[in-house]
Each structure stands twice: as structure tokens, then as C-alpha cells.
Amino acid sequence: MDVSANRAFDGLGATRDFYKAVFNRDSIDGRGMRLTAFVHYDKRYNNAFWDGHQMVFGDGDGKMFSDFTGSVDVIGHELAHGVTENTAGLEYHNQSGALNESMSDVFGSLVKQWSLKQSADEADWLIGPEIFTPGIDADALRSMKAPGHAYDNDLFGKDPQPDNMENYIKLPDNEMGDFGGVHFNSGIPNKAFYLTAVRVGGFAWEAPGLIWYESLKASHAETQFQEFANTTYRKAAELFGDDSAEQLAVLAAWQDVGIQISGILAGVARARSLAADRSGGTGGENGLATVSQQIGALAAQVTGLAKDVTALKSK
């Protein structure tokens, strides 16, 4: 019996079942694609990847990394590249590449949460916590809950992922520069998804996962962070209604990572976000009433300012 082969089989099955049960998607291409995997790749290979046709797993070197079949979220992450490839086809560089990586983290984490039936509050939001060997002081490869805090040790240094646009990392668009920092800047949309999920509450694969999935399908090869954020806001309205708890959670999450939804004044966004938080992330009549009051107050301020400007001009 090959333990790695069995784990890979179970991970591929869990991922396929997740897409079918949650999004009614027939395998990663939507057309029943057969999922195959190659284990024990190379010698002491420290990685796992999707090559466009199959999954490939390394055994790890036993010093830094262990067998990569041991983490279902890593399996879900890699297979999600196939989903992205068969939907938006996000180009693998700069912001579109970081979105590509983020989508894989999102769905990799959701596969694990769905398999374990964990709520957003119960989930660890870590990618690959099983990958490092016990001798390595690290929580995981990445943390969606706290980008930049997955590890901090002498061997790897400190996790460089930013969690806000003000710390966006600009790197060369080549292999040495991680194609513009795709594995680094993915922390920003990762944090936005995490914040959306915990604000909505319950199971993250339900409303938040559906919003992100539909937004991925509505994206294109060159989609940037701003456009994707706008799409999630729009999709939240289409799926759950304008000013719904889900849409307000999306709005607040992107604002918290330094991205304002286009067409919404920062003050209005802040008022809506505060209302969503005060209503416990449930939307509801009280939350919407607070929103209306705050937007009304903001409108009055704008009207008053306009009158002052008019008066100054007349003088």
C-alpha cells in the first residue's frame, strides 16, 4: 500500500466532490475531466504543482518539507489552478497572477473547510500547515487570516506577504521576481476573502465562496485587483441583493485591505461598513436603517459644503 498514492486519491476526490456539491461544477473543467496525479516525483522534491493535465507531488526533502500529499488544502490549491485556467484564464504575472494564486488559496482552504465541515470561525485559514517538518518553526506556507505571519524563522526569514495595498510589493515580472510577486501580493485578496467570510459567518463555502466563484467566472485574463473587487461587489448584489449583509461584508472587506469599490464614495463605504459591523454581520433592518441615517447625514454634509462653495463664489 502506498500512503502517498492513497492520500493523493482522497485529496483529488474531496476536491472533485466539493466542486460538484457546492457549485454544481463537474470536475475542474466543468465537463467531467478525469483527475490524475503523479506521486514521488523526482527525488526529495520540495513542491507540488498542476501541470495543466495532472497533479504532481514531491515527497519533500524530509528536512524542510514533508510529503506534499499530506495537505488537502495544497491539493485543492493546485487543482484550483485548473479551474482558473478553464474560466478566467488569469495571466500569471503581477496582479492577475496574484489573483490567480489567491483564487487557489481560497478554494484550497474551502475544500478543507468543506471536508471538515468547519465554519469560518472554526477554520485555521492556513495553507499547507502539514507541509513543514516538525523541525521547522513555521505555521504554514501562507495565512489567509494574517498574511505576513505564517512563519518567521532563521531559515526562511519572515513571511513577506502584505495584507493591504499600501504594502503592495513591486517585483520584476520574471521568474526571479516571482513574476511580479504573485505569491506575495496574493495576501491582499486572500485577506479580503477571509474578512468577507467571517463577517458573513457560517460556512465560508456558501455565500462568500459562491460570490468569489461567480466573480472568477466573470473575470478575464488581465483582471486586476480593483476590477475583481468591483465584480465581487456586483455579484454579491446579484446573488443576495443590494445592501444585503453579504454585499456589505464584501464592501467592508475590500475597504479594509485598501481597495475602494469604484463608484462608492469612501465616506459612504465607511458608513455602510460600520453599519454592517454594528449589526453583527447579519444585515437586517437595524443595520440598513443605520446605513440610511449615516448616508443621509453624509448627503447633508455634502449639500452644506456645496452651499458654502456657492456663497464663496458669489463673494
For strands 37-41 and 55-58, give the pairing.
Answer: parallel
Active site residue 227: no
Decide: 259 and 211 in contact? Cβ < 8 Å.
no
Measured CA to CA, the distance from residue 282 to residue 191 in angstroms comes to: 20
Residue owning grid cell 447625514: 297
Straight-line distance from the first to the last Cα atom of the chain, in angstroms, rounded to the nearest whole number? 89
- What gap in Å lies between CA 84 and CA 220, rounded to an integer? 10
Question: 77, 78, 101, 227: which is the annotated catalytic residue?
Answer: 78
How many other C-beta atoms are found inside a 10 Å radius of the C-beta of residue 48? 26
Query: What is d(CA 147, CA 149) in angstroms, rounded to the nearest whole number?
Result: 6
Letter string b/e over residues 237-267, b meaning 16 or more CB atoms within 10 A of that residue's CB: beebeebbbbbbbbbbbbbbbbbbbeeeeee
Nearest-angstrom CA–CA distance, 66 and 69: 9
The C-alpha atoms of residue 223 and residue 30 are separated, in whole angstroms, by 21
Residue type for 79, please? Answer: L
Whether residue 183 lies in the annotated active site: yes
Burial of 186 (0-12, 13-18, 19+ CB in 10 A): buried
Closest CA to 205 of 73, 71, 86, 75: 73
Select which of 40, 85, 149, 183 is catalytic. Answer: 183
Gap between the Cα atoms of 127 and 209, Å rounded: 17
* Catalytic residue list: 78, 183
